[in-house]
Amino acid sequence: MKLTLKIWRQKDSKAKGEFKTYPLEGVEGDMSFLEMLDVLNEGLINKGEEPVVFDHDCREGICGTCSLQINGEPHGPDRLITTCQLHMRMFNDGDTIVIEPFRAKAFPVIKDLVVDRSSFDRIQQAGGFISVNTSGNTIDANAIPVNKHDADESFNSATCIGCGACVAACKNASAMLFTSAKVSQFALLPQGRIEATERVLNMVAQMDKEGFGNCSNTGACEIECPKGISLENIARMNREYLKASIKG
């Protein structure tokens, strides 16, 4: 395959970025999208140019490090996968592919395609935990039976990988899907109910403080989420938030 890549280049957080065009030949369908970028970079290094910097690590869709807005979509055209799992067989010979960083006020660009997602960590730090000491003096695991349906639902919410695609997909750059996934995971478990009120209030407050936008129910986040985190989580968080506010 022969492709034309239009890639966002930006020296550092202060620099003004711009698109640069790179032709690329010899792309194979079996390559992942990131392996295609590896090939591009190898060529750039050999020509003495600076390679394109992008975030990536596990390359099997679970660490949540890779990002990229590909032709306007977070993680590209395929569904339920991350960019590292996107394969070039999804594209055709002669295609032009536009590659940008995730865009959001709360995700400032660090360099080229790399953004700072530490705002997500701070939302988790505000309440994404159960306050149990880790020294092991807890009760037997089977002393807390959990209804299978709730356990499965909690697991589904907990599979969020914190990649930020939901924010990048949203016209308001809202982090509701991300935040609600963690709120839901704990809200569905008896262990998590104890701190439910504080948790939802603190996490939502931090989310607002970080500059994420509001949710206007377009559902774009759910469609682009590589882990299929459902909009039901947002509905659940809204209920939890309302309950907590009344209790306040």
Partner 1 sequence: MSKLDSKIPKGPLADKWTKHKNEINLVNPANKRNIDVIMVGTGLAGGSAAATLAELGYNVKTFCYQDSPRRAHSIAAQGGINAAKNYQGDGDSNYRLFYDTIKGGDYRSREANVYRLAEVSANIIDQCVAQGVPFAREYGGYLDNRSFGGVLVSRTFYAKGQTGQQLLLGAYSAMNRQINRGKITPYNRHEMLDLVIVDGKARGIIARDMVTGKLERHSAHAVVIASGGYGNVFFLSTNAMGSNVTASWKIHKRGAYFANPCYTQIHPTCIPVSGDHQSKLTLMSESLRNDGRIWVPKKKEDAEAIRNGKKKPNDLSADERDYYLERRYPSYGNLVPRDVASRAAKERCDAGFGVNKTGQAVYLDFASAIQRYGKEQAAIHGNHNPSAEEIKKLGTQVIENKYGNLFQMYEKIVDENPYETPMMIYPAVHYTMGGVWVDYNLESTIPGCYVTGEANFSDHGANRLGASALMQGLADGYFVLPYTIGDYLSKDIKTGKIPTDSKEFDEAENNVRQLLEKLVNNNGKHSVDYFHKKLGHIMWDKCGMARNAEDLKSAMSEIKALREEFWKDVKIPGTMYEMNAELEKATRVADFLELGELFAKDALHRNESCGGHFREEYQTEEGEALRDDENFMYVAAWEYTGDPGNSILHKEELEYENIEVKSRSYK
Residues within window 29-68 making contact with partner 1, judged by CB under 8 A: 30-32, 34-35, 38-39, 42, 44-46, 48-51, 53, 55-65
Residue (of 183, 185, 168) closest to 220 by Cα position: 168
For partner 1, which is the closer residue by CB, 150 or 216? 150
Return d(Cα 50, Cα 87) in angstroms, integer. Answer: 25
Q: Tell me: does residue 201 bind partner 1 (CB under 8 A).
A: no
User: Which 66-125 residues touch partner 1, going by CB under 8 A?
Assistant: 78, 80-81, 85, 87, 89, 110-111, 114, 116-118, 120-121, 124-125
Q: Which stretch binds partner 1 (CB under 8 A): 96-104, 146-154, 217-225, 240-248?
A: 146-154
First-to-last CA distance in the chain?
59
Cβ proximity to partner 1, 44 vs 98, nearer residue = 44
Q: Which is nearer to partner 1, 114 or 215 (CB)?
A: 114
The answer to whether 234 and 181 are in contact (CB under 8 A) is no
Query: Site residues for partner 1, window 123-142 (CB under 8 A)?
Result: 124-136, 138-142
Task: Give the separation between CA 74 and CA 155, rounded to whole angstroms.
Answer: 23
3-state secondary structure 137-185: CCCCHHHCCCCHHHHHHHHHHHCCCCCCHHHHHCCCCECHHHHHHHHHH
Q: Are 52 and 113 in contact (CB under 8 A)?
A: yes
Query: x-or-dash pattern for partner 1, window 153-182, by CB under 8 A?
Result: -xx--xx-xx--------------------
CB nearer to partner 1: pick between 202 and 238 = 202
> How many residues sit in the footprint of partner 1 (CB under 8 A)?
80
Measure the CA–CA gap between 24 and 39, rounded to whole angstroms: 9
Closest distance of CB 62 from partner 1, Å: 5
Residue 185 in the binding site for partner 1 (CB under 8 A): yes
> What Rg value do the Cα atoms of the chain yield, rounded?
20
What is the nearest approach in angstroms of partner 1 to the Cβ of residue 35?
5
Residue 25, token pair as written in the block: 């030949």
Q: How far is the CB of 124 from partner 1 (least distance, A)?
A: 5
